[in-house]
């Protein structure tokens, strides 16, 4: 109660208002302003995610002024639709606007943000059509509306533009552009109202942090969630799975959780959510056998209920007008079907030991998901339902695990704004390794997580390159549902695959602390170079060449820094792709060192590397401190284990790392049951000296006499 | 006046009404029923086209019953959107739903009918997103709404479906389908009302005829429009163009009209619509020089007005909020800008002798056309304006030519429902020869015309194959705006290209009569095999193979009869594509003969042909009568010329052909100034005898003693 009053007072203090064309911007949280336009909508993105802003953490960010000139923002409702306009300046770039797979900077693009399986074009149809963008000028904009909104991200040009493009003749002026300069982002929301949020900076990273914190802070996975996971082929029985676990042990390969694919339901597509008694005669026994080996189970499902399942008749009154694969579609904006699902899932899965879910097919494809003409008993439109369905299921299911005070970590194919604090990683069926990395990078702008999962490969090189990438992502996963692959499917690279998986295991203290930064400060664990403070990257345009059918308007193309990202504060990851022998890497300001050798790689420059096949290129910042597990292991540590640390230092400079720890599985950290340990190196060059300071030793599971390794030769 | 009263009485007699769920279907014209749902919209597709139904011609079609069970049609307005549902039966196929480039049968597809440049996928974004479909059960459905409507063409499945799909388990039942059976077409119109029309059959062709006649009947081009047209490179001056005309004469190549591309405006992109005085110092003299050679001129333009043009200030008060390439966008739903355009275009072009326009860029692309957040002074939304803009310009400009009693024939990149009677052929920048043929075929379902224009080729074979195709299309055009190609650009096939162009010239009597059938009876001149009465074609589905990334749901694919079509009643065209040595051709019921040799090709069967490079495969129906010009010529005939005919007969059977004629350029035929000549062959086998009967000799320009050629050896 005291907390509630404090929050209210805080909110009151921040309720400074800014007037703009009779619009009232209200500072709803520190550095976060809200403008309510038109009619309040019954379904919103943040509402579906039930976000609880982390006000204290927001207060700890630097103060921010209202980041735009309010009179340059326009918002009005015309004929039942909401028209929005935000200014852009010359040279400004914008990032975000959904989970895009091919491009980063969205300025100059048009996106219809529409929940869908990614179809090969960055046109807004995506697994996470998040209507949030962040600008290189250091602010963020969120349109909180569960609609198929169209965003003209610097393409539309008004007759009365403040900064109009130059008037040129296409035929006689060489500077003529197919797409003239636009000084605004314009957005059409097909609804008679919307909530618009502005997030202050002053940097891009700070704006993203504010967004994530406003959405409740990033999710902190259980430690086991950061280990390796294998998803087994469809129709695998309990015996097949236990055999698979044994094979992992025989191969000395890490494994923390198993994904059980279709075959465990008594019917699937549509689903019953009841165990098939031939393949899983004793689910509790099966889950217990896994637990004995320290393995968790994640169950595949989609939410469409089969007529042969016991849930069907109960949920039918609370389901939509249309079927998906003959299954009914529960209306999860209502309490009744949520209660029925909770009861069923708790009884049949979670109380038996199931640790999480893979929520499939909540995105599309259009051809089988419910159509936009579907109706739902709550009155929610099909469009709104489509935009939030994945988020509704994420929130509902995450609450079940919270109820038993166990963290989960699962997969989902549809997300949206507000899901930063939800325990799900996005995946899909698209399978371009390069585009998977672009998606991983873009996920950092919009508060979602993405895994470049591995399924199968045409050759060992591709296999290894994909395995290397997925081990530097939020979920290290081999998804063998269709092809039945194993990590050792290509024996010629088995050892290299094992090594990179082991490296991920050993990096747990660093990665887990990185996720803690996501949770407590909103800093994305895997993040775009554009979010590195102090680094200024501009995408460059290149003139197009006229071709009457391929490029009839000689439209320009954009060149961007691609395929490299930060894992946490210190490690720069530059994945390699099959067929690639060398690549460019942009090193931000300061000196950077090779992760494996500690040798200087370069300083604020573009380097060209030829890393060979065995290792994924990793670069470490000068002064970096990387806490790692000393020993290789195949399971993530359980509560109560004490672990030996190897703490690496790179470069010449002193540095600090804050090592986070807690019990690794429960939500007790929310009540203060965690520790932060300051690992530090002082001095310079040859006189570097290590040290550490543990807070709350009770929640600290590592050895207090770590092995310090100074990686860079002095 | 008498006519008006007669029409009124006729309409009254047909106003039989059918009740359906309190909806009232009104027979608004013979065999055409209208249901008005929700609120009347100020902009509709048929309203933009200002259609005048050809009631008499509709009366002459066979009587039709209301073609569907009215209780199976549902229509309602929910939250400002119109929800529609029409039944489908097992085995039924549907065609139309926009100008698609890759597929014919649309059952099983989802289309968001949205005006746009074709983007490579049949998803509804197209140059003619016509919301009309025709069913193999012999009826048509039109949703007359100028909106981005979404059509679920047999994909959506209701929980309470009359004919639900079978319940199967994906993992254990081999018959499981990624896309289960759906028994309905469902449509979401994002507006609070719509007009729905049902067109009776009893055949697909009759339903299409009804649709075309309801839209005013097909357009009858001037004879010169059916000759060859060359579009010259940008920045060509008057002298360059006259030189080009001389080159055509030197090469003995047909040429009836010249397309003048950007460079004639004093500024273009945006346009002034005023002649550039350096390249065209004497427009009237230039046009006169062309006319002396029997050549017409067609002017390229887009409707976006440059600030340096005299129209700018006058039209600005009547233009939209956004610019296109710095040009303002006139609101052509208002009378004032239409009057200003009329005055300007009449004075500066048409009265000087300009014969038509190419209306470019009224479709999209999204990136430079006005955004959906644009507003217009009439209150018309950007979405509505986008859907009808091309049609508005087509209608407005066609009226200018009607005013001077001269037919025009031009090009447009955006059309929609209601444009059957408008004098424009659609084209685009997409350049797949095969897909161009698919579009040509699909155009016949939706009352538009399409040209598979030729621009350039990588090799002589592709060049010749494209030239052969375009000569069997509504407009035989080489568009050299970018590459500066000439028909003889590949000297090794110059003679074959000339021959096919000459063949088109010689076929004028047949083609012109075929267009007259379009005008008077609504029969598309170039038409899909599905519209051949008596021929039943089904597309076949093929099971898909599971691949976790390429085809994760093992979705089926559809195999269709592709790349062949009818030109008029008797000629089956089966184009060849570069790299193809042989192909299949489906011959409909009856015997079919080779056009060139008269030899039997087959009878109601699929044949495989290896036609060689020189000729485009053409097959002629048993009993066919083909009137052709006896002599080769490079210009279409002018009024007053008398022309010698060669009339060919093919096969063993007697036959009839109705040869149409008129002055070839004016609208006097609307007042009865035309002739129909019955060409007939009686008897059988060796005893076949020709004959002819001319009506209205005054309007008949051919010799009355034609040379009859019996092509098939007896």
DSSP assignment of A566-624 equals: EETTTEEE----TT---EEEE--SSEEEETTT--EEEESSEEEE---SSS--EEEETT-
Confidence of residue A495 (pLDDT cuts 50, 70, 90): very high
Count of C-beta atoms within a 10 Å radius of residue B536: 9
Nearest to B519 by CA among B319, B220, B93, B265: B220
Task: Please judge whether B328 and A159 are an interchain contact, meaning their C-beta atoms are less than 8 angstroms apart.
Answer: yes
Is residue A167 within 8 angstroms of chain B, CB to CB?
A: yes
Is residue A180 within 8 angstroms of chain B, CB to CB?
A: yes
Residues from chain A contacting residue B150 (CB–CB below 8 Å): 371-373
| A324 SS3 class | strand
Count of C-beta atoms within a 10 Å radius of residue A234: 20
Cα distances (Å, whole numbers) of residue B92 to A207, A676, B131, B136, B194: 55, 68, 18, 6, 25
Task: Please judge whether A269 and B152 are an interchain contact, meaning their C-beta atoms are less than 8 angstroms apart.
Answer: no
Q: Is the pLDDT of residue A548 over 90?
A: no
Residues from chain A contacting residue B188 (CB–CB below 8 Å): 371-373
> How much is the ipTM here?
0.94
Q: Is the pLDDT of residue A404 over 90?
A: yes
Task: Please judge whether B325 and A170 are an interchain contact, meaning their C-beta atoms are less than 8 angstroms apart.
Answer: yes
Nearest to A394 by CA among A369, A351, A358: A358
pLDDT of residue A27: 97
Q: Which residues contact A685 (CB under 8 A, 6 or more apart)?
A: A652, A714
pLDDT of residue B22: 59
Residue of chain B whose Cα is closest to the Cα of A189: B373
In this structure, are residues B673 and B652 in contact, taking their beta carbons and an 8 Å threshold? no
Is residue A687 within 8 angstroms of chain B, CB to CB?
A: no
Of B110, B159, B171, the CB nearest to A262: B171
List B residues 17-76 in contact with A (Cβ-Cβ < 8 A). none
Task: Please judge whether B322 and A429 are an interchain contact, meaning their C-beta atoms are less than 8 angstroms apart.
Answer: no
Handedness of CA A625, A627, A630, A633 (dihedral sign): negative
Average per-residue pLDDT for chain A: 95
Task: Please judge whether A262 and B159 are an interchain contact, meaning their C-beta atoms are less than 8 angstroms apart.
Answer: no
Q: Is the pLDDT of residue A11 over 80?
A: no
Angle at A84 between CA A82 and CA A85, to 5 degrees: 165
Q: Give the containing element (helix H, strand E) for A242.
A: helix A238-250
Task: Please judge whether B152 and A373 are an interchain contact, meaning their C-beta atoms are less than 8 angstroms apart.
Answer: yes
Regarding beta strands B674-682 and B655-662, do their DSSP bridges make them parallel or antiparallel, or are they unpaired?
antiparallel
- pTM for the model stands at 0.95
Task: Please judge whether B367 and A179 are an interchain contact, meaning their C-beta atoms are less than 8 angstroms apart.
Answer: yes
Most confident of A307-321, A531-545, A676-690: A307-321
Q: Which residues contact B56 (CB under 8 A, 6 or more apart)?
A: none
Is residue B165 within 8 angstroms of chain A, CB to CB?
A: yes
* CA distance, residue A31 to nearest chain B CA (Å): 29
Q: Which residues of chain B have pLDDT under 50?
A: 1-17, 19-21
Task: Give the rounded distance of the alpha carbon of B138 from its chain centre.
Answer: 20
Is residue A268 within 8 angstroms of chain B, CB to CB?
A: yes
Number of inter-chain CB pairs under 8 A, A vs B: 195
Q: Is the pLDDT of residue A10 over 50?
A: no
Confidence of residue A544 (pLDDT cuts 50, 70, 90): confident
A561-581 burial code (b ≥16 CB/10 A, e <16): bbbbbbbbbbbbbbbbbbeee
pLDDT of residue A546: 82
Confidence of residue A93 (pLDDT cuts 50, 70, 90): very high
Task: Please judge whether A372 and B150 are an interchain contact, meaning their C-beta atoms are less than 8 angstroms apart.
Answer: yes
Is residue B181 within 8 angstroms of chain A, CB to CB?
A: no
List A residues 441-500 in contact with B (Cβ-Cβ < 8 A). 455-456, 479, 481-483
Rounded to whole angstroms, the Cα distance separating A687 from A684 reads 5
pLDDT of residue A3: 45
Task: Please judge whether B178 and A368 are an interchain contact, meaning their C-beta atoms are less than 8 angstroms apart.
Answer: yes
Residue A138: how many CA atoms within 13 Å on its side-chain side? 17
Is residue A625 within 8 angstroms of chain B, CB to CB?
A: no
pLDDT of residue A555: 82
pLDDT of residue B556: 79
Residues from chain A contacting residue B325 (CB–CB below 8 Å): 170, 180
Handedness of CA A57, A60, A64, A67 (dihedral sign): negative
Name the DSSP class of A221: -
Mean pLDDT, rounded, for A132-146: 98
Nearest to B371 by CA among A70, A76, A184, A90: A184
Task: Give the rounded distance of the alpha carbon of A381 from its chain centre.
Answer: 27
Sheet bearing B476-479, strands edge to edge = B424-426, B410-412, B356-359, B296-301, B257-260, B228-231, B476-479
Residue of chain B whose Cα is closest to the Cα of A373: B188
Residue of chain B whose Cα is closest to the Cα of A431: B549
Residue of chain B whose Cα is closest to the Cα of A429: B549
Residues from chain B contacting residue A233 (CB–CB below 8 Å): none
Of A110, A165, A373, the CB nearest to B156: A373
Regarding beta strands A228-231 and A476-479, do their DSSP bridges make them parallel or antiparallel, or are they unpaired?
parallel
Task: Please judge whether B159 and A80 are an interchain contact, meaning their C-beta atoms are less than 8 angstroms apart.
Answer: no
Regarding beta strands B557-559 and B476-479, do their DSSP bridges make them parallel or antiparallel, or are they unpaired?
unpaired
């Amino acid at each position: 109660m005291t907390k509630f009053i404090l929050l209210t007072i805080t909110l009151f203090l921040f309720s400074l208002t800014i007037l703009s064309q009779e619009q009232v911007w209200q500072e709803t949280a520190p550095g976060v302003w809200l403008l309510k336009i038109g009619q309040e909508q019954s379904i919103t993105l943040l509402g579906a995610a039930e976000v609880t802003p982390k006000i204290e953490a927001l207060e700890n960010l630097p103060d921010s002024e209202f980041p735009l000139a309010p009179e340059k923002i326009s918002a009005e409702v015309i004929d039942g639709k909401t028209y929005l306009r935000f200014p852009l300046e010359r040279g400004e770039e914008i990032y975000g606007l959904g989970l895009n797979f091919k491009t980063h900077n969205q300025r100059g693009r048009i996106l219809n943000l529409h929940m869908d399986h990614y179809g090969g074009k960055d046109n807004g149809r995506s697994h996470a059509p998040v209507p949030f963008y962040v600008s290189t000028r250091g602010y963020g904009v969120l349109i909180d509306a569960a609609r198929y909104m169209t965003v003209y991200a610097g393409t539309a040009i008004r007759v009365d533009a403040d900064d109009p493009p130059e008037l040129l003749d296409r035929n006689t002026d060489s500077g003529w552009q197919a797409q003239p300069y636009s000084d605004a982002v314009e957005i059409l929301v097909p609804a008679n109202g919307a909530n618009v949020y502005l997030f202050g900076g002053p940097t891009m990273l700070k704006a993203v942090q504010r967004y994530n914190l406003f959405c409740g802070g990033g999710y902190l996975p259980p430690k086991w969630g950061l280990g390796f996971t294998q998803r087994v082929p469809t129709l695998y029985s309990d015996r097949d799975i236990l055999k698979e676990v044994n094979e992992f042990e025989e191969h000395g390969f890490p494994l923390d959780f198993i994904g059980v694919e279709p075959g465990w339901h008594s019917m699937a597509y549509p689903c019953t959510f009841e165990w098939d008694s031939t393949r899983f005669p004793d689910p509790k026994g099966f889950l217990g056998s896994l637990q004995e080996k320290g393995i968790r189970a994640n169950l595949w499902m989609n939410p469409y209920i089969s007529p042969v399942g016991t849930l069907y008749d109960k949920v039918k009154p609370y389901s939509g007008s249309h079927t998906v694969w003959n299954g009914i579609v529960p209306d999860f904006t209502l309490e009744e079907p949520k209660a029925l699902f909770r009861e069923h899932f708790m009884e049949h899965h979670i109380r038996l030991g199931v640790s999480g879910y893979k929520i499939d097919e909540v995105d599309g494809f259009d051809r089988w998901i419910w159509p936009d003409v579907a109706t739902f008993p709550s009155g929610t439109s099909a469009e709104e339902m489509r935009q939030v369905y994945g988020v509704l299921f994420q929130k509902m299911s995450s609450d079940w695990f919270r109820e038993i005070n166990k963290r989960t970590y699962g997969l989902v194919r549809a997300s949206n704004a507000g899901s930063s604090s939800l325990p799900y990683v996005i995946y899909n069926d698209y399978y371009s390794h390069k585009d998977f990395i672009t998606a991983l990078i873009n996920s950092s702008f919009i508060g979602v997580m993405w895994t470049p999962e591995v399924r199968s490969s045409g050759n060992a090189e591709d296999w290894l390159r994909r395995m290397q990438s997925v081990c530097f992502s939020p979920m290290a996963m081999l998804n063998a549902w269709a092809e039945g692959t194993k990590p050792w499917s290509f024996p010629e690279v088995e050892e290299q695959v094992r090594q990179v998986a082991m490296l991920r295991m050993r990096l747990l203290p660093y990665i887990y602390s990185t996720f803690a930064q996501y949770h407590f400060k909103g800093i994305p664990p895997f993040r775009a170079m554009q979010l590195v403070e102090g680094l200024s990257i501009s995408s460059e345009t290149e003139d197009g060449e006229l071709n009457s059918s391929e490029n009839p308007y000689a439209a320009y193309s954009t060149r961007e820094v691609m395929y490299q990202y930060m894992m946490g504060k210190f490690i720069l990851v530059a994945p390699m792709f099959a067929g690639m022998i060398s690549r460019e890497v942009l090193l931000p300001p300061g000196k950077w060192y090779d992760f494996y050798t500690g040798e200087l790689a370069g300083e604020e420059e573009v380097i060209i590397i030829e890393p060979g096949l065995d290792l994924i290129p990793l670069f470490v910042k000068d002064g970096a401190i990387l806490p790692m597990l000393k020993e290789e292991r195949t399971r993530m540590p359980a509560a109560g284990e004490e672990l030996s640390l190897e703490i690496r230092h790179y470069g010449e400079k002193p540095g600090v790392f804050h090592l986070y720890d807690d019990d690794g599985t429960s939500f007790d950290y929310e009540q203060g049951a965690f520790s932060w340990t300051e690992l530090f190196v002082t001095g310079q060059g040859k006189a570097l000296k290590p040290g550490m300071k543990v807070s709350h030793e009770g929640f600290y599971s590592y050895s207090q006499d770590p092995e310090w390794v100074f990686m860079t030769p002095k």
